[in-house]
Structure 1
Amino acid sequence: MASHADLLNAGRWDDEWKSAHERIDQAGYGDLVASAYRQRGPELADIVGLEPVLRLGRAVSEFAIRTDKRTTSILPDSAVAVAELLYRPDAVIEWLLIVENAAKAAPSAVVVLLENSAKILDRVDLAGFKAFVSMGLAIGRRHPERQAAFFKMEDPEARRFFDVEEGADRYAALQGTLRPYLRAVWGIEPPMQVAAPDMPEPMRRRVGFGGGGIRMPPSFAGFDGEESRRIYRAAVAHVGAHHHYTEQLFPVGALKPFQLAVISVIEDARVERLAIRELPGLAELWLPFHVAKPGGPPLATALLARLARALIDGDYRDPDGWIEKGRTLFEQAADFDLSDQSLSRTIGGLLGNDLGQMRIRFDAKGYVVQPAYRDDNIGIWDFGDAAEPAIEMQDIVEGARVEQQQRDDGKPDDEAEDINDSEAVGKVSLNRDASEGILVARYPEYDYLVRKDRTEWCSVREHRVPEKPADAIILAEKAHADISSKLANMIRAARTGRTERLRRQADGDVIDMDACIDAAISSRMNVAPDFRVYSRYERRSRDLSVLILLDVSNSTDDAVQGGSRKVLDVERVSTALLSSTIAGLGDKFALAAFCSDTREDVRYFRIKDFAEPYDLRTKMRLAGLDSGMSTRLGTAIRHAAEDLSRQRSYRRLLLVVTDGEPSDIDVDDERYLVEDARVAVHSVNQKGIDTFCVALGSDAPSYADRIFGRKGATTVTRVEQLPSHLPAIFHRLTR
């Protein structure tokens, strides 16, 4: 490439270069800005030519108007750093346009973006950079206080963005150094293997050990560069501490999942305290990852993370009485003898009983140990006959579930009186029964901020529906027999089969040429011709499959607006009336329900499959539905559509019955799940599946129209309104 001296002497380019300098000098931006452009301009020209330098001059003027002198003076430095990565004039110019737009939208935060542009582009391409900036600007509009942290790549959403964009196996780059490190610290060198792709997500996110080996996550979400190296070292050092100080496995017995978690936190703290006594430098390795803080909602996961910090960080103070009790008990034991492993069982048992008395919800399947470097704790427990002893890494138990035992009175343990754990009888089994909530599928989720799907982002787990007496449903069907009759007439009138050509008609849309020829022949033979010489197209048969998808989230436990009945009760009766009507007409249909507890646990309940009859058992399952959790609608729609797509019917209808706007506890952006559901509906429609929403409540226009379209949703507050609202559905099917 030519030197910048050659470029600067190249006729008109030389004139434009001088003109750019003059504009900046005369604009009064100050010596800091002018000298930065004068110094960095030739360097930029050496890398990508003079055109980006001239474009930089215009960008400097724009920045000087929008921001301050310091931010403007940083722009030339950033441009040179970016050029060294992109190395194309057009790419550098596009980068300048992106940061100019950012300066217009977020003048106070763009300085952070400039300082980190090279770091960002070192991890993603220019398209990814543009998506990252768009996401940061959108977050800044909702949460201005988070914008700088986002552009620094410190905000959780920024970390999640890079996790999705990179999809990198960071363990692969570090595995060559981890075994020597573990040998140097603890004198052991067990085999290590990355977690298999089909393992449960919580196990892929944490280190695990057992059977003489160590299972490593492909990456730790939110940690990169030097932090990634440090957390992998912290993780294997922690496993080494267990190897030295956890001398025997703890028997599971009849312990409940939250008791296992509390005892594991105490044992983690015990082995780390002993390790730090022997190797004080480990404290500096582990402590930075303990970032839990006091306050927030009383969630079991948060309390356990705060307890973990309280037991390793002497300067940490927490006002919660349960955490202070744990610290006091642990310190008393530490003053006496930490080498006794049974103290973890004793202290953990006491704290676990207290946690149970507090009635704080603990999601055993979704629980992920905090802080991130600690292992998943499966390796310190003896699950009895649940699994054969593991020898190879691939034989390590993929997940263990403590089955809730029932007392003679039929009450589950968590409703019975607290008893001594050692006197109870427990049972452990592998979680492989689909009816108990097995992971059956993963689906993408659309992120409207970056306009991309997050691949395999949400996990669907199918659960068995408990059966309860269906007397109320049977009585409701009898009480509303008149509604069923109206619905039957309406559905019967809808021609939902393929169009057929009817020939030799007295009137019609087109001429039937065969009939015309026959009529002409008859006329010439002096035989009275048949004047039915038209043909037309009609739907004369029925060929329809329907899947009714019910929202059973926590909000369905509330009363329908303007009435006294619960939303779920209205859903049950409405569904029962539709089901009995459709079954009477012979159409194929299925019933399902859903709710969610974060993206890792979208729960799907099969009430009736297409091949099953609509009978008493189906009604008992319908009666067995309970309200709970959240509404991740887009994922449920995608999963239901998979069932429908396997039906060979000419028309397929997904009828969604819901009462509230999509939401979940791991999403704080009100628009995020609405946009995902809208994209899910669009993708389902492209597969030839019709979608329609019956919204139970007055909020429907705010979200249902956005998701399903104005003609794809209707609002119902009483079952008596169904006959007047559902014609829109069947009109759509006969278009």
Structure 2
Amino acid sequence: MQEAATLNAFEGFPPEWRERWSAAHGRIDHAGYGDLVASAYRRAGPSLAMHAGPAFAVELASAISMVAIRSGRLAASLVPQAALLAARRFDATAMRAWAAAVEDVARRAPEAALPLLENTGRLVTALHAADFIAFVRMGLHLSGGNVDRRRAFFALESGEAIRLVEGRSADGGLAEWRHGLGLYLSALWGIAPPIAEAPPDAPEQMRRRPGFGGGGVRLPAVFAGFEADEAKLLYRAAVAHIGAHHRFTRTKFAAVGLKPLQIALVSLVEDARIETLAARTMPGLASLWRRFHVARPDGPPIAIALMARLSRALAQPDYADPHGWVEKGRTLFAEAIADNIGDQQLSRRIGGLLGNDIGQMRLQFDAKAYIVQPAYRDDSMGIWDFDADESQAPIEIEAMLEGARIEQHAGDDGRREEGDDGETATGRLSEARDDDGLLVARYPEYDHVIGRYRPDWCRVREMPGQIGSARSATALSEVRSDLVDRLSALIRASRISRQQRVRGQTEGEFLDMDASIAAMIARRTGEVPDTRIYGRYERRSRDMSVLVLIDASRSTAESVHGSESSVLEMERLSTALLGRAMSAVGDPFAIAAFCSNGREDVRYTRIKDFSHSLDGFAFARLAGIAGEYSTRLGAVIRHAANDLRRQRSHRRLLLIVTDGEPSDVDVDDRHYLVEDARMAVHELGRDGIDTFCVALDSEAESYASRIFGPRGAISINSIDRLDKLLPAVYMKLRS
């Protein structure tokens, strides 16, 4: 008996590993961690050896010791079972990384080890090995030393943790396909609304079903229970259905006086109507949608089940259902669409009749538990008008009204998206206002540690700014006129515009066909032909808009190398000189300043807009800029880009004047804001907006070349070098 038990204890261990296994669990047995920890390791060891290899089973003793010492016995007792769960998903190399991550959490965030181990099953099911490591790094990096925040993250109680887990499902999810879905929706229906995940703290109905409203589309982070290929088709079916609503549901239905059951039934019939219309022009959509109708005719005769069966009956002509209510709905629908399928009110009439029948049958409808079937259909909140006083809406659907309030967001991949009105959705640009009455926009931020964007991470507030003294404003408007003249001459000489064809040249890049034909006719008639039969491409004017963005952070109080002037003083003066030069030649330009005090307080001050002149008031605001707080560069780059996107110039330039050191009070990773700013520059490049940095040479370490590229930045330490700046900018723009 004892011999059998001994053999079982070594199962999975080759003979050469048995002695090392005995030594490993012997150390845990005698370490004083208690029998709970020791017995958990002894029981799991053989299975770990079979799944992850004997070497890993032996090495796990180190992780158990670290967790026991730093996080306690209970957490240590969970390590072997958590390792078994991970070993069923990860290979041997990934398992070593998993154990190292657990040790790292125990070492740096002892309070987080227990919730991490408790949630290992869910994490390894949803995440690939690399994503699991990224999840751990993000939790440690995000917390900033806040114990409660760390524990909530690893306990999957924070919205960001839930979004990361649900959005990076190993079986595929919205994070993987968001961009492709936007292209698919645009190709089908010619619209490009922003696509966002359902908020992690939203009601379950919202998180499990698509929705739309307010110019945006909301989709679940994942469709649970669907394999990768099927889930991708399900997402396509969902956005195709929402696009059909956009095209064919012309007005919202009035919800006043209707019960939740009637709203659900009218929505069901309207879903069938718009899909029928869509399939008439794109028949392939019908087969895409039908594959997800799985209701069976032998289901229980309850209201929710009958509604799913009716949905299938209206979508699939060959589906037979024995229930009279389902067949009545099919007959009413067939008659109505044959008469006038374009009449949206037919859905209201049929839904009302069918709702009365449900009431006559005494069937209960639980609106709180109702989830639209099939899975690709939206929650229908986007097609209903619940009146201005939403407090009068039925309490059963009150929690679902958020589906009709989606605001514009950026995609997790940072690409520009547009709503129906053509406004950019790179950030949330709603007319939201904070307690001080200031315009607010939210933007994503790129986290280089996890390789993903954090949606809606930064809040930009537009501040009114301060007014400088009249003497300072006058000085900025009058000083160094000689340099302004030189800069104006450089700008006039530039040719940043669309190329134009210049015809009638004696030599050139192409034949001027009209002149060539005229010359040939003249030659054949005995006349002397005109030899100016060529043409070439030239830029004969300028067509460029410039936004000058000034760093107004505390670090700009430092002195410029070799000068008694501060960085901020040189910024004011160089911006004034550039502005006066551009104003003299009539080029459109704007000026703004920025600083930040954490991600929720990024401040943006407009000095001069494109539509305003460079007057005394603009100089006074420029003189009033004071260096304070920090430099969160990526968020203000994205915010300033929104103004440039509205310009219709051939080239659009964001010219940033800074000391080149991004930083903020809530960031301790020196590379974090640098990488986010670099990604923001790439985003602008994809939108056809050029960026250039004037890095004023100060004591601060400059990251300009990393952010803007070697040809996208120039360092100067004297105002007299401004006339060297413009050729560098124009060379970049003409390349």
**If the TM-score is normalised by the length of the shorter chain, which range does it land in?**
0.5 to 0.7
Written as runs of structure 1 = structure 2, the 5 A alignment for 1:209-224 is: none
Counterpart residue number, 2:693: 693
Q: Does the 8 Å CA contact 1:33/1:72 hold for their aligned counterparts?
A: no
The 1-side partners of 2:80 and 2:508 are apart by 71
In the other structure, the counterpart of 1:331 is none
What is the distance in 1 between the residues matched to 2:142 and 2:599? 22
**Residues 691-724 of structure 1: CA deviation (Å, up to 9, x unaligned):** 0111112467741111111111111222111112
Say if 1:435 and 1:464, in contact at 8 Å, map to a contact too: no
Do the aligned partners of 2:495 and 2:542 also contact (CA within 8 Å) in 1? Answer: yes
Contact 1:139 1:147 in 2 (8 A): no
Query: 1:162 aligned to 2:161?
Result: yes
Name the SS for the 1:693 alignment partner.
strand
Specify whether residues 470 and 437 from structure 1 end up closer, same or farther in structure 2 by C-alpha distance, changes over 3 A only: farther
SS at match of 2:607: strand
Residue by residue over 1:569-617, the C-alpha shift from the partner in whole angstroms, topping out at 9 and shown as x without a partner, is 2111111110010011111001111111111111111111101011111
Assess if the C-alpha contact under 8 Å between 2:119 and 2:155 holds in 1: no
2:715 aligned partner: 715
Deviations 1:485-524 (A, max 9, x none): 2211222222111111222322222333443333223222
Q: Which moved more, 1:548-557 or 1:64-73?
A: 64-73
Counterpart residue type for residue 506 of structure 1: T
Q: Is the 8 A contact 1:545 1:589 kept in 2?
A: yes
Query: Taking structure 1 as reference, are residues 30 and 110 closer, same or farther at Cα in structure 2, changes over 3 Å only?
Result: farther
Distance 1:117 1:156, change over 3 A: closer
RMSD over equivalenced CA pairs, Å: 4.6
Please state whether the residue corresponding to 2:508 is helix, strand or coil: coil
Tell me if 1:30 matches 2:22: yes
Alpha-carbon distance, 1:565 to partner: 1.5
2:89 aligned with 1:98, yes or no? no
TM-score (normalizing by structure 2) = 0.53
Q: Deviations over 1:194-234 (max 9, x none)?
A: xxx9xxxxxxxxxxxxxxxxxxxxxxxxxxxxxxxxxxxxx
Distance 2:696 2:630 in 1: 16
- Which of 62, 83, 95 aligns to 1:68? It is 62
User: Which residue does 1:626 correspond to in 2?
Assistant: 626
1:705 corresponding residue in structure 2: 705
CA drift of 1:656 comes to 0.6
| Distance in 2 of aligned mates of 1:493 and 1:547 | 20
Can you list the C-alpha shifts for 1:154-174, whole angstroms capped at 9, x where unaligned? 799996852653798787789
Partner of 1:475: 475
- Look up the match of 2:564: 564
Report what 1:225 is aligned to: none
Q: How far has the Cα of 1:77 moved from its partner?
A: 7.4
Higher mean alpha-carbon deviation, 562-571 vs 116-125, is at: 116-125
- 8 Å contact kept, 2:446–2:675: yes
Q: In structure 2, the residue corresponding to 1:581 is in which secondary structure? A: helix
Matched, 1:504 2:500: no
Would you say the 8 A contact 2:472–2:620 is kept in 1?
no
Confirm or deny: 8 A CA contact 1:29 1:69 kept in the other structure. Answer: no
Change (3 A) 1:519 1:92: farther
1:434–1:463 CA contact under 8 A, matched in 2: no
Q: Which consecutive residues of structure 1, in runs of 5 or more, have no partner in the other structure?
A: 1-17, 45-52, 175-196, 198-389, 395-430
Aligned CA distance change for structure 1 residues 158 and 686 (closer, same or farther; 3 Å) = farther
Matched with 1:248 is none
Separation of aligned partners in 2, 1:579 and 1:108: 53
Counterpart of 2:487? Answer: 487
Could you tell me which residue of structure 1 aligns to residue 532 of structure 2? 532
- C-alpha separation between the residues in 2 aligned to 1:577 and 1:694? 14
Maintained 8 Å contact 1:437/1:464: no
User: Following superposition of structure 1 onto structure 2, how do residues 181-330 of structure 1 map, counting pairs within 5 Å?
Assistant: none
Sequence identity, in percent? 39
Distance 1:152 1:97 in 2: 27
Which structure 2 residues correspond to residues 278-677 of structure 1 after superposition, within 5 A? 438-677=438-677
User: Letter of the aligned partner of 1:471 in structure 2?
Assistant: R
In the alignment, the residues of structure 2 paired with residue 68 and residue 435 of structure 1 have an alpha-carbon distance, to the nearest angstrom, of: 52
Unaligned 5+ runs, structure 2: 1-9, 27-38, 68-74, 166-196, 205-213, 215-390, 399-430
Q: Secondary structure at the match of 2:20?
A: coil
Question: Which residue is equivalent to 2:732?
Answer: 732
Paired position in structure 2 for 1:187: none
**Contact 1:501–1:537 at 8 Å: present in 2 too?**
yes
Give the Cα separation in 1 of the matches to 2:655 and 2:201: 45
**Contact 1:501–1:536, Cα closer than 8 Å, also in 2:** yes
Matched residue SS, 2:127? helix
Q: What is the CA–CA distance in structure 2 between the aligned matches of 1:106 and 1:554, rounded to whole Å?
A: 39
Deviations along 1:333-381, one digit per CA (max 9) or x if unpaired, are: xxxxxxxxxxxxxxxxxxxxxxxxxxxxxxxxxxxxxxxxxxxxxxxxx
Deviation at 1:474, TM superposition (A): 3.4
SS state of the match for residue 637, structure 2?
helix
Does structure 2 retain, via aligned residues, the 8 Å contact 1:66–1:107? no
Give the aligned length. Answer: 453
TM-superposed deviation, 1:648:
0.7
Specify the SS of the correspondent of 1:438: coil
Task: Judge conservation of contact 2:433–2:439 (CA < 8 Å) in 1.
Answer: no
Secondary structure at the counterpart of residue 28 of structure 1: helix
Preserved CA contact (<8 Å) 2:60 2:99: yes
State whether residues 660 and 699 of structure 1, in contact with CA within 8 Å, keep that contact through their aligned partners in structure 2: no
| Cα distance per residue 1:15-49 (max 9 Å; x no partner) | xxx995316635623266699899558878xxxxx
Asked if 2 retains the 8 angstrom alpha-carbon contact of 1:124 and 1:165, the reply is: no
Q: Flag the 1:108–1:722 CA change in 2: closer, same or farther, 3 A.
A: closer
